[in-house]
């Protein structure tokens, strides 16, 4: 019995070490591409700016804030498009993301049919961000701000999913933005949702 417990502890420690190593490698890979762009800074600037605009009571002042944010939105479209194109050069094996709810070491390599391609997901997000900013559907500034925020949050969820697991990504989304994953998915642009679900194989 003691030998069995000892072997179980050794196996658990080995799995933990492999998990930490794999996650660190993925975080470093994503950061090496994302760090070349201003995506995170622009996302923070936009979400804070939208809160200011939505909380502004004076219509004239509110319009000024919307106009100021237009430059950051255009920069986000350009920066994220370049980031997605850059990440497209990643090897297919390194771009696989396990669809298991929790992280299991090497599951993306042992079960490749139960994965999706992060390169495709980033392209979906790039197109979604550009589509909402372009606003061909004629959303009001308020609705457009909410939709673009949801597009950015879903993109952030994908990045956390790639580095950790779906469960961790969803928990972080709930903690940071008080938004369940299902609600977030329901709130993005319809074309984004359709392309996203197709890309992850749902």
Q: Name, of 19-33, 72-86, 110-124, 168-182, the range with top average pLDDT.
A: 72-86
Number of domains in the chain: 1
Per-residue model confidence as pLDDT tens digits over 149-178: 999 999 999 999 999 889 999 999 999 999
Angstrom distance (rounded) from CA 66 to CA 58: 12
pLDDT surpasses 70 at 1: no
Angstrom distance (rounded) from CA 98 to CA 119: 14
Q: Which domain holds residue 50?
A: 2-199
Q: Which two tokens stand for residue 166?
A: 């779906």
pLDDT of residue 162: 94
pTM equals 0.88
Per-residue model confidence as pLDDT tens digits over 134-153: 999 999 999 999 999 999 99
């Amino acid at each position: 019995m003691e030998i069995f417990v000892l072997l179980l502890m050794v196996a658990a420690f080995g799995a933990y070490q492999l998990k930490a190593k794999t996650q660190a490698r993925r975080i470093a890979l994503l950061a090496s591409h994302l760090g070349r762009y201003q995506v995170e800074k622009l996302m923070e600037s936009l979400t804070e700016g939208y809160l200011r605009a939505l909380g502004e009571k004076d219509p004239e002042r509110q319009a000024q804030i919307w106009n100021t944010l237009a430059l950051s939105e255009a920069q986000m479209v350009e920066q994220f498009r370049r980031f997605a194109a850059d990440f497209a050069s990643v090897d297919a094996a390194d771009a696989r993301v396990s669809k298991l709810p929790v992280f299991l070491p090497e599951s993306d390599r042992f079960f490749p049919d139960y994965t999706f391609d992060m390169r495709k997901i980033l392209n979906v997000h790039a197109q979604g961000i550009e589509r909402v900013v372009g606003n061909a559907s004629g959303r009001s500034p308020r609705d457009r701000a909410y939709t673009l925020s949801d597009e950015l949050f879903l993109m952030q969820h994908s990045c956390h999913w790639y580095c950790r697991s779906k469960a961790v990504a969803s928990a972080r989304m709930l903690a940071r933005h008080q938004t369940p994953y299902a609600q977030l998915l329901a709130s993005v642009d319809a074309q984004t949702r359709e392309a996203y679900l197709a890309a992850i194989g749902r």
